[in-house]
Chain A
Amino acid sequence: MSYEVTWYPFSEHPESDSCWSLSVGPDGRIYASSCCEGVPGGTVKVVRYNEEADAVDYLFDLDKMVDDPRDSGRATQCKIHYSFAPSMHDGVMYMATHLSGPPIDLPAYSPWNFWHDPERCFRGSALLAFDTKRDEALWWDTLFPKEGCRCLLHDEDRGLLYALSYPRDHFFIYDLAKRQRRDVGRIGSVNAQALFIDRRHRVWTTSDYGRLIRYDPDKDRLETSPYVLPHNPEFQTGWHSVFYDVVGSPEGDCVYAVSWIGSSRLMRIWPDEGDWGRVEDLGPVTQRPDPTTPANTFQDHCGGVVFGADGQLYYVASRWNDPVYHPMSADRRTNEGVVWRLDPATLEREEVALLERPEHNAQYVSRGAPDHNGDLFFGHVGPSPVGLFKLHMPEDRKKQDAHLPIRMWG
């Protein structure tokens, strides 16, 4: 079965070069970040899929909302990076910005180089509370100064946001009631791309060395797992096998994660089992690579891990033409974004769609989410303007309120 796919370019933001964030909001609609990190002075626009118009609505320019104009001379509010987090009780969508976009009058930005430069240094990750019921920004704050937010999570029961900062890779807790942040400490250098929370309110991520890192509120401490997560044993050590994307199972008893490295592994983690949970290695999600060449991060990739209303796991893994290890016919794109559907019971997977842009490859998907109707959406990173894909789910695989239980992290 091949699902229908529609491409929605961010044509009203022609300079957009990455859609890092795509999440379902508390209202069941799809929100995405139209980011611009390659253009001096580039900034992010927040967009939303409009199902009535079957189009993308441009909600706002984030730099204007948080009073950090693009022509300030500082690094810009250029993107939202895995940092949408919904709040169900009040319909708020939290979002936190990330850095890397150059100041308007420079061709590049380095947070290391400009850390001490008051003229150039990124002001800080802006945390914005957006009311999805009234379509208005309620308030904003600086989540942490000078750094960007790599990923965000909301523990709604306790009114806390959790975040990883970049570049210092610190783990932060933000108290929404007090609007106060607390720096718990540094994890490493690589920076994981995702956090998840378990039923005991423990927050999990990964270290540089592919180990689980867990923050337990009862201990108020970051702990490291005694084992390394699955990785390719032929040429990898576990280093850099940090989380790229993580989704919770509909039952809430386990998560599915992929790692941010070539030959990305799919794994299933049962966090409540034993001291350190139980990890199942579900194997590589992309083809066998050339082991003598470091994988191109933008070619060998997997993201958009999401559960469909049919209880099946969907994700987008790249496929590419490799004349030695994976030759593909000349009529194919050199890089493809393959949507896989995996049965959690049997662990068998089937290819259900190819993501295709009219003029470009579409192998790099950042995040995926179901909307309230049960269709799936995927954010794309690639040539400008970027955009999002809608995967039209077959009717018998859809349901209303398919976004519930909602994912609480970006």
Chain B
Amino acid sequence: MAKRKQYDRNAPGTKELVDRIVHGAYTTQGTMVAFPLCFPGMTTPIPADESHITALDVAADGVIYGGTSGRQAHLFFGMFHGATGIVFDMGAVEDADHAAAVCCGQGQFLACVNGPAGGRILRRHFQGLPFDLLQEWGFSRPPFEDLGEAVPGEHIVHAVADAAANRAVVATENHLVSVDIGEGKGRVVGEIPGRGQIACASRGGVVGVDDGALWVYDADGEVVKRQAVPMPEGDWDDAGLTWGRDPVTGTLYTADGQGRLFAFREETGFSECLGTVPLTPVGPMAVTFDGRLFGACGDGIGKTFCYNPVTGAMDALGVAVSVLERRRYGYVFGAAATGRDGQIIFGEDDDLGHLWLYFPRILRPPGLTGA
């Protein structure tokens, strides 16, 4: 190996290089805000080792619902618009240590949690907006409605609400279950090994990996089509598969074990490889209203990235760091969702996990460079 020469700190460009190394490490575009799992100044956060956020969904009114994993699973809501600014711990779930998914319906949400005995589905009504969290408030903690096991003895792998937010489709270790959120009743609709995340696609079908292909579940027709769409050529780690969904077009994004990113639409199937995510494994992803995909990638100290479908650019955005509300580094994320105004909500899958609100950089109109 060639001997390395000691860097001359008087070399031209040193300051710029130091700045790139040091400051270039952190969020390079937009703003990250880490919000604790509490009402700051009013309540204690969810205990640190029970606060790994692994499930998120956003209701139509913009309220965020989520679930944690760790020593014990908790369910919470968060609201950040109007005179709010709170995360409220709706309670720990007995005999559960993992939140696999939260699915928002119309007026109620389902939470899919796992424990030593398997997976269960809980339900609770949505949280109304409080009067004003700068002035006065009151909260209660009604019990969850336990809808029972999804499939006896099986853990829940993932779940999503359908496009109309009437049903939740639940993937267990070996089955697919359709649950009517309003009625609180479910039935097995297929015998499919659950692997990785599932997602609601562009025509409303729910998809999941199926041994080198996708299965597609038509929630209206209640029909599952196995091996419906072949996966593109790639290194597919089914168990760790994640999806990001464009809330405007329904386009889904996923990446293989090498970080190669693909888009999927029911009408057209998978795209060609769109680019390579900077690090693997590729974690949770979500899409803002202008179509840009944001996600987390890499282990240990993960970084964030952005894929812009208009330009085709794939940008590394650095390590998440928050200097507003809480001063915190964000290393591991377990869930992501699109917020009411297009901000990206990341759930931190770490001890003392926070909800991270990411406000992407506002893009300049093409051709305008500024005054």
Contact = CB atoms under 8 A, between A and B. Distances in A.
Interface of A: 40-41, 71-73, 102-116, 146, 167-168, 185-190, 208, 221-222, 224, 226, 239
A333 B6 CA distance: 35
A106 B26 CA distance: 19
A102 B14 CA distance: 13
B327 interface: yes
B237 interface: no
Contacts of B300: 115-116, 146, 168
Interface stretch (B16-24, B216-224, B338-346): B16-24
B292 interface: no
Contact of B6 (A40, A110, A113, A146): A40
A100 to B, nearest CB: 11
B49 A221 contact: yes
B5 interface: yes
Given A168-B331, A188-B328, A112 B279 contact: no
A116 B298 contact: yes
Nearest to B49: A185
A189 B351 contact: no
A110 B21 contact: yes
A99 to B, nearest CB: 13
B172 to A, nearest CB: 29
Contacts of B48: 185-187, 222, 224
Main secondary structure of the interface of B (DSSP, over half): loop
Nearest to B299: A116
Interface string B313-335: 00000110000000111010000
Given A107-B14, A186-B350, A187-B351, A113 B24 contact: yes
8 contacts: A41-B4, A107-B17, A110-B25, A112-B25, A113-B21, A114-B21, A187-B352, A239-B327
Contact of A189 (B5, B303, B318, B329): B329
Contact of B9 (A72, A107, A115, A186): A107
Find the residue from A102, A186, A190 having the highest chain B CB count within 10 A. Answer: A186
Contacts of B18: 107-108
Find the residue from A73, A114, A188 having the highest chain B CB count within 10 A. Answer: A188
B25 A105 contact: no
B7 interface: yes
Interface string B290-314: 0000000010110100000000000
B124 interface: no
Contacts of A73: 4
Contact of B327 (A109, A111, A189): A189
Contacts of A110: 21-22, 24-25
A189 B351 CA distance: 11
Contacts of A104: 4-7
B301 A112 contact: yes
Interface string B30-72: 0000000000000010011100000000000000000000010
A181 to B, nearest CB: 15
A105 B6 contact: yes
Given A222-B48, A224-B47, 20 more contacts: A72-B4, A103-B4, A104-B7, A107-B11, A107-B18, A112-B25, A112-B301, A114-B21, A115-B298, A115-B301, A116-B298, A116-B303, A185-B49, A186-B350, A186-B351, A187-B352, A222-B49, A222-B351, A224-B48, A239-B327
